[in-house]
Copies of this chain bind each other. A is one copy, B any other.
Amino acid sequence: MPSNKRIDLLTLGNELLNGTRVNGHLEYIGGCLGRHGVRLQRNMSFRDEPEQIRKFFSESLEDADIIITTGGLGPTTDDNTREVIADCLGLPLEFDPSIESAIVRRFERMGRTMSSSNLKQCYVPKGAQVLANAFGTAPGIWLEHGEKLVILLPGPPNELKPMFEQQVLRRLEERGLLQGAEHYLQLRTIGVGESALQDLLRPVVKRYPGLGVAFCAYEGIVDVRLSPGASNVQAHQIQEIGDECAGILEGDFICFGHDSLAKIVFDHLRADEKKLAVAESCTGGLLSNAFTDLPGASKVFAGGVVCYNNDAKMELLDVPEGILLQHGAVSHETAAAMATGAMEKFSADYALSVTGFAGPGGGDTLNPVGSIYIGYSSPLGVWSIRMLYPGDRVAVKIRAVNRALDVIRRKLKEFKVEDAIQSMLSSPPKRFN
């Protein structure tokens, strides 16, 4: 039974522990496995030092059936994973000439010669299979050892990701270790707090004693995950329960699954063949970036302007000087004028704007740090709302971007109704023709 396999992910590297790097491997590998109905039991990060690797790998070997490690396969002397794990498992390292020739060819293509320090990368534990590395020198290692499966992967993300997708997932699939689908249903919501959400959904949830219900709140969004848990609910019933919850949440329900707010807005606009432009002050490019991270962004994203001062707002967005003088750069009026300006300059169908004080400096009595105005412009008019967010500069930026995306998400849903009304008013109903 695949789902009973206990999988540990061991991410090696001091840089993870001292805050100099985010643990992107956990997010990536956890996400890939999750989409195949498999979940990690645990992730451990520790230093890439022999005694640490020995201690925690041995601990994991007792607790887990499958162990995936990342990092420590490089050519430098601080790369110890291969050597220590082979030793823990009592396996000698053997020289593999095919790895050496792959590295030599790689260096030749780049017009360089192989460094002697790369030689250590040509050794693999006896009985292991090599996972070829198309984007670097360190091959991965696949090792079936008694009842245990040990998979060693290189640390650089551009080497790890294609190796994981093209080789590791395929091998796990072949051994029946993946499932078809995710083991839970996620409802993504915005606009309701975590405890209020629990209260709202209680009437539905309490009908299924033991149902797994988990909440995760971040930057204005709350994810609700439903799973059979200890109940006798069947997998196919989860969707029905999810639909009922979504109905209760109405407009605060964003989507099932993991799509970002930007992706949801992108899909709406794409379906309507509409274009969006963006004008940002305090979010400084983050709102544009939320769209441009999406493949095919150019189909809906017309462009954006980041205006950090009044001159730029006037020059690039045609914000009237009078508005800036009378109301200030952080105001409903400026937010509205920025949205209108962006819509016109980029010949877009809609525009979003954000202006405010993200902190730590700036702010005044009327608009303290954390004050954000979000403007929205459409063929039907222009709106602006004001928010006040706690947190540091980066947190305020993220919350403001999420809120701006939510403004257009809700407006696009409304607009379909307004659109229908408008076309009814502007042309006589068909049956009277």
Report the Cα distance A34→B16, complex, angstroms: 11
- B-chain residues with CB within 8 Å of residue A426 when the two chains form the complex: none
A302 near B295: Cβ-Cβ < 8 Å: no
Interface residue ranges of A1-57 to B (CB < 8 Å)? 13-24, 26-34, 39-48, 52, 55-56
Task: Give min CB distance, A125 to chain B, whole Å.
Answer: 22
- B-chain residues with CB within 8 Å of residue A272 when the two chains form the complex: none
The yes or no answer to A81 lying at the interface (CB within 8 A) is no
The yes or no answer to A169 lying at the interface (CB within 8 A) is no
B19 near A34: Cβ-Cβ < 8 Å: yes
Across the interface, A32 reaches (CB within 8 A) one of B19, B52, B218, B287, namely B19
Closest to A44 in B: B44
Which of A89-97, A386-394, A406-414 participates in binding chain B? A386-394
The yes or no answer to A216 lying at the interface (CB within 8 A) is yes
- B-chain residues with CB within 8 Å of residue A393 when the two chains form the complex: 293, 295
Report the Cα distance A302→B313, complex, angstroms: 11
Closest to A156 in B: B217
State the copy count for this chain: 2
Interface residue ranges of A131-165 to B (CB < 8 Å)? 135, 137, 155-158, 161
B76 near A118: Cβ-Cβ < 8 Å: no
Report the Cα distance A27→B19, complex, angstroms: 4
The yes or no answer to A376 lying at the interface (CB within 8 A) is no
Interface residue ranges of A199-223 to B (CB < 8 Å)? 199, 213-218, 223
Which of A173-181, A237-245, A278-286, A319-327 participates in binding chain B? A278-286
- B-chain residues with CB within 8 Å of residue A309 when the two chains form the complex: 298, 302-303
Report the Cα distance A194→B73, complex, angstroms: 12
Report the Cα distance A56→B161, complex, angstroms: 28
The yes or no answer to A232 lying at the interface (CB within 8 A) is no
The yes or no answer to A356 lying at the interface (CB within 8 A) is no
Across the interface, A13 reaches (CB within 8 A) one of B74, B216, B283, B284, namely B216
Report the Cα distance A334→B16, complex, angstroms: 39
A31 near B18: Cβ-Cβ < 8 Å: yes
With contacts A285-B304, A345-B315 taken as known, whether A223 is within 8 angstroms of B293 at the C-beta atoms is no
A40 near B26: Cβ-Cβ < 8 Å: no
B223 near A118: Cβ-Cβ < 8 Å: no
A341-373 vs B, Cβ < 8 Å mask (1 yes, 0 no) = 000011100000000000111000000000000
- B-chain residues with CB within 8 Å of residue A31 when the two chains form the complex: 18-20
Task: Give min CB distance, A285 to chain B, whole Å.
Answer: 3
Report the Cα distance A359→B287, complex, angstroms: 20
The yes or no answer to A246 lying at the interface (CB within 8 A) is no
A297 near B308: Cβ-Cβ < 8 Å: yes
Across the interface, A214 reaches (CB within 8 A) one of B78, B214, B215, namely B78
The yes or no answer to A301 lying at the interface (CB within 8 A) is yes
- B-chain residues with CB within 8 Å of residue A266 when the two chains form the complex: none
Across the interface, A39 reaches (CB within 8 A) one of B17, B33, B56, B258, namely B17
Across the interface, A23 reaches (CB within 8 A) one of B26, B155, B311, namely B26
The yes or no answer to A331 lying at the interface (CB within 8 A) is no
Across the A-B interface, the 9 shortest Cβ-Cβ residue pairs? A284-B292, A19-B31, A285-B288, A285-B285, A18-B34, A285-B289, A19-B30, A304-B306, A303-B312
Can you name 25 A-B pairs with beta carbons within 8 Å? Answer: A13-B216, A15-B216, A17-B39, A17-B41, A17-B42, A18-B40, A19-B29, A19-B30, A22-B26, A23-B26, A42-B46, A59-B59, A74-B195, A78-B214, A286-B292, A288-B288, A293-B397, A295-B359, A295-B393, A302-B312, A303-B308, A303-B309, A303-B312, A304-B306, A316-B346
